[in-house]
């Protein structure tokens, strides 16, 4: 059984999707062993508690910069003996001390079709605001490995939804979460735990 550590910052609907999938037996060969929150107020903490999963709070605001924060995260990941780290609505970019120590062992869900609407500054609702501003006709979400560059690691899975004329950022966000994020994130996590993702020339392939 691989030990899965989930990092969160907010509402935690993606964490909930993982918990629900695990309860349905859809995460094969993996178990969520710990949740780490960067935000002491995150509702995700309650979701972890309700599911009986230990939660560690490491507040981002207690650290002056990204490197010192990342070192604290790294120490906790090592303590937890994490086999897989899932960034599920985690709103802090991790320094390379973490991404190098856990190369191809960190998975992120990004709410757009990478390489569009991604990178530093593109997170949460802002991503959907930008997509609507641009006038794209499809959007979606990307599940990818995390490397030292924001949203630039190997893509594992992507899924799309149509953008409707009267969409607001909130409506588009919800459609993408329901139809793509909550389905593909648990799927990618299970694929990882089953050792069904391989890397060739920096790209990820599902066997």
Site map for ligand GAR, 74-103, x if CB under 6 A? --------------xx--------------
**Are 197 and 143 a contacting pair, CB within 8 Å?**
no
Contacts of residue 164, defined as CB under 8 A and 6 or more positions apart, other chains included, come to 171
Is-catalytic flag, 110? yes
Q: How far is the CB of 124 from ligand GAR (least distance, A)?
A: 5
Cα–Cα distance, 199 to 8 (Å, whole number): 26
Site for ligand GAR in 36-65 (CB under 6 A): 44
Residue 140 makes contact with ligand GAR by CB under 6 A: no
Q: How far is the CB of 127 from ligand GAR (least distance, A)?
A: 6
Q: Which one is catalytic: 47, 110, 128, 175?
A: 110
Which position among 33, 85, 111, 204 is part of the footprint of ligand GAR (CB under 6 A)? 111
DSSP 170-183: HHHHHHHIIIIIHH
Q: How far is the CB of 45 from ligand GAR (least distance, A)?
A: 11
Residue 193 makes contact with ligand GAR by CB under 6 A: no
Strand partners, 163: none
DSSP 145-176: E--SSTT-SPEEEEEEEEPPTT--HHHHHHHH
**Are 60 and 70 a contacting pair, CB within 8 Å?**
no
Q: Which is nearer to ligand GAR, 2 or 110 (CB)?
A: 110
The strand pair at 106-110 and 84-87 is best described as parallel
Residue 14 makes contact with ligand GAR by CB under 6 A: yes
* Residues that are catalytic: 110
Instruction: Using CB under 6 A, list all residues that contact ligand GAR.
Output: 10-14, 44, 88-89, 109-111, 123-124, 127, 177, 181
């Amino acid at each position: 059984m691989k030990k899965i550590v989930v990092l969160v910052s907010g509402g935690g609907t993606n964490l909930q999707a993982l918990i629900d999938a695990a309860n349905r037996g859809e995460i094969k060969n993996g178990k969520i062993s710990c949740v780490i929150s960067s935000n002491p107020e995150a509702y995700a903490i309650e979701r972890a508690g309700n599911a009986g999963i230990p939660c560690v709070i490491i507040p981002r605001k207690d650290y002056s910069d990204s490197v010192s924060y990342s070192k604290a995260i790294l120490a906790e990941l090592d303590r937890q003996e994490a086999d897989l780290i899932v960034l599920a609505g985690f709103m802090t970019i991790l320094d390379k001390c973490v991404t190098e120590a856990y190369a191809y062992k960190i998975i992120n869900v990004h709410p757009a079709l990478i390489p569009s609407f991604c990178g530093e500054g593109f997170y949460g609702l802002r991503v959907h605001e930008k997509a609507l501003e641009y006038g794209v006709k499809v959007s979606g979400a990307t599940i990818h490995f995390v490397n030292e560059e924001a949203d630039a690691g190997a893509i594992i899975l992507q899924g799309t939804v149509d953008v409707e004329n009267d969409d607001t950022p909130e409506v588009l966000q919800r459609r993408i979460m329901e139809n793509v994020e909550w389905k593909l994130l648990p799927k990618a996590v299970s694929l990882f735990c089953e050792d069904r993702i391989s890397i060739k020339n920096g790209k990820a392939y599902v066997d």
